[in-house]
């Protein structure tokens, strides 16, 4: 790799990247000189400021009090309103609660539903499930609303909001925390901080508790304690038939297995009881780098991934193309108020664009991530399983970042990121074999490398979602060509997987077992009326 990147390189020059067809019409005739000119008027700083300002403007927009009148006209919604208790509210379009209910971090994941049902009790959730089953009405369940797959936690039918499940209760005797399914992890960390404890949860701001946990969950604390699913004690579950169960490893081992990485196939989880761990202040934060230092950051990332054995240390290296420019945002983490010498020295020695690294609370570190500037963009994810972050693979990542950024920025592309997430290779051993749906096996660890594209034009959804999947396929081919064999068959982390991914690609060898569990728990396929990866 050279010290300076040419953003207008030929992507196909890399021996590790297979040739892909050109962009489809009308995009195939895009003038490269127009793309080049975009670099002259856009920079990382200006784009971040403009995106932040847009978020502030939208969030500050006043909503007339008169719109709070609940206008519900759909017959199914009217029936739900009539048959549920006063603990549950039903809202029609034009109300603040409706707008909050359907809102998602990614605007492409929001849909206009017939109504929003803010459920207030497990009994009422059972009533709602009964009604949608009888009327064959599509529905969705939304916790924090961070899914990047349209239709996974949104619907044009009945939209169930878990917003009222917002409590965090810490039990010092059992060293556990009961966490409501309507929360985001920021809220959880804030409420546990006074007790000096923490849970294994999300790494960046705005991520919802429910979907994250049901998909498995990779955390800053994963090297020490495993996935979020590995640290569950109990689930409060409303089953598809409306009955309520507290599911533990002893009460129902098969359902326990299914809820640990099996997504929303077996009912609606309203509360999660999790193990807690003592939490001091931590050290770390965000460093951003410009394009001329990308080679150095890649080298430091490769060295960290291959050599650092301290489970308290973690990084997240994200290759970005923003505002017409490539660059890197690096999150570094050490689970102690000070860092040992040597672990992060190479990163700290590289000339940076911005730096916000210090001793701080765990919540402060999580909110130091820049992800909130992408709020409101249309978005799509896809995972690439990575065995080793080799120099050759990271060069392929840089090529992909520049290739798609230079070609799609003028087509409403606003944010392109490729996130390297190295973990220690023994993290799957924190759970007993065959006790969770994802990952299907703990025999070999593959890093959950994540691709994210953000754009603004809803008429280009197919173009961008297709580009994300194409890029992921190219990187799988690149890694395979370098000797990281059999990547095409590796199960994909469901929280990063594109909706185009098959259930076989998510759960692999565990799929027959999950289907058998599904037949027992949901014989009438009530949960099939909701979106998501369905077994």
Q: Name the helix (H) or strand (E) containing 116.
A: strand 115-118
pLDDT at 32: 39
> Between the CA of residue 240 and those of 200, 211, 519, what are the distances in Å?
28, 18, 11
Could you report the per-residue pLDDT of 480-523, keeping only the tens digit for each? 999 887 787 789 999 999 999 999 999 999 999 999 999 999 99
pLDDT bin (cut points 50, 70, 90) of residue 443 is low
Comparing CA positions, the residue from 485, 486, 505, 506 lying closest to residue 494 is 506
Ranges of each domain in the chain = 65-161, 168-278+509-529, 282-505
Q: Is the pLDDT of residue 378 over 90?
A: yes
Q: 304 is written with which tokens?
A: 């960290």
Residues paired with residue 201 on neighbouring β-strands, in sequence order: none
Is 223 in contact with 314 (CB distance < 8 Å)?
A: yes
Q: What is d(CA 100, CA 65) in angstroms, rounded to the nearest whole number?
A: 15
Q: What is d(CA 395, CA 481) in angstroms, rounded to the nearest whole number?
A: 13
Q: What percent of the chain has pLDDT over 90?
A: 81
Q: Name the helix (H) or strand (E) containing 408.
A: helix 391-408
pLDDT at 368: 94
User: CATH says 65-161 is which class?
Assistant: alpha beta
Pick the CATH number of 168-278+509-529 from 3.90.180.10, 3.65.10.10, 1.10.10.10, 3.30.465.10: 3.30.465.10
Q: What is d(CA 95, CA 101) in angstroms, rounded to the nearest whole number?
A: 10
> What's the whole-number average pLDDT of the chain?
88
pLDDT bin (cut points 50, 70, 90) of residue 242 is very high
pTM of structure = 0.88
Helices (H), 308-384: 345-349, 362-367
Could you report the per-residue pLDDT of 412-435, keeping only the tens digit for each? 999 999 999 999 999 999 988 889
The arrangement of secondary structure in 282-505, i.e. its CATH architecture, is 3-Layer(aba) Sandwich (3.40)
Q: What is d(CA 179, CA 527) in angstroms, rounded to the nearest whole number?
A: 23
Q: 53 is written with which tokens?
A: 């300002």
């Amino acid at each position: 790799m050279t010290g300076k990147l040419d953003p207008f390189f030929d992507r196909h020059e890399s021996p590790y990247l297979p040739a892909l067809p050109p962009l489809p019409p009308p995009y195939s005739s895009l003038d490269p000189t127009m793309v080049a000119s975009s670099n002259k008027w856009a920079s990382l700083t200006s784009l971040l400021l403009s995106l932040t300002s847009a978020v502030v403007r939208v969030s500050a927009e006043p909503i007339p009090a008169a719109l709070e009148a609940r206008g519900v006209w759909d017959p199914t919604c009217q029936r739900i309103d009539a048959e549920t208790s006063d603990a549950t509210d039903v809202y029609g379009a034009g109300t603040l609660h409706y707008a909050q209910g359907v809102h998602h971090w990614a605007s492409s994941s929001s849909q206009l539903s017939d109504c929003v049902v803010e459920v207030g009790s497990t009994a009422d959730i059972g009533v709602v499930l009964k009604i949608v089953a009888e009327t064959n009405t599509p529905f969705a369940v939304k916790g924090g609303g961070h899914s990047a797959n349209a239709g996974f936690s949104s619907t044009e039918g009945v939209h169930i909001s878990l917003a009222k499940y917002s409590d965090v209760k810490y039990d010092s005797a059992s060293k556990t925390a009961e966490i409501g399914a309507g929360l985001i992890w920021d809220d959880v960390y804030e409420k546990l901080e006074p007790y000096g404890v923490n849970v294994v949860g999300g790494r960046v701001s705005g991520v919802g508790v429910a979907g994250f946990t049901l998909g498995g969950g990779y955390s800053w604390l994963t090297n020490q304690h495993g996935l979020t699913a590995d640290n569950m004690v109990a689930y409060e579950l409303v089953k598809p038939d409306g009955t309520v169960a507290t599911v533990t490893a002893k009460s129902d081992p098969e359902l326990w297995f299914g809820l640990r990485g099996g997504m929303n196939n077996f009912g609606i989880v309203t509360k999660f009881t999790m193990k807690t761990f003592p939490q001091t202040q931590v050290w770390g934060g965000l460093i951003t780098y410009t394009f001329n230092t990308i080679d150095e950051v890649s080298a430091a990332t490769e060295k960290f991934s291959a050599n650092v054995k301290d489970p308290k240390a973690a990084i997240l290296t994200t290759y970005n193309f923003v505002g017409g420019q490539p660059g890197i945002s690096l999150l570094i983490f050490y689970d102690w108020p000070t860092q040992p010498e040597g672990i992060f020295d190479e990163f700290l020695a590289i000339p940076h664009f911005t730096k916000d690294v210090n001793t701080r609370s765990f919540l402060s570190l999580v909110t130091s991530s820049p992800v909130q500037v992408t709020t409101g963009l249309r978005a799509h994810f896809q995972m690439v399983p990575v065995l080793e972050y080799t120099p050759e693979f990271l060069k392929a990542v840089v090529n992909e970042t520049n290739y798609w950024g230079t070609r799609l920025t003028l087509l409403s592309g606003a944010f392109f990121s490729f996130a390297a997430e190295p973990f220690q290779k023994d993290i799957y051993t924190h759970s007993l074999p065959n006790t969770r749906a994802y990952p299907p096996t703990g025999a070999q660890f593959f890093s959950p490398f994540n691709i994210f594209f953000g754009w603004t034009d809803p008429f280009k959804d197919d173009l961008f979602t297709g580009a994300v999947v194409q890029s992921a396929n190219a990187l799988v081919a690149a890694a395979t060509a370098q000797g990281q064999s059999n990547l095409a068959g590796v199960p994909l982390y469901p929280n990063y997987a594109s909706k185009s991914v098959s259930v076989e690609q998510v759960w692999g060898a565990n799929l027959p077992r999950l289907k058998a569990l599904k037949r027992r728990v949901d014989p009438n396929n009530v949960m099939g009326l909701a979106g998501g990866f369905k077994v």
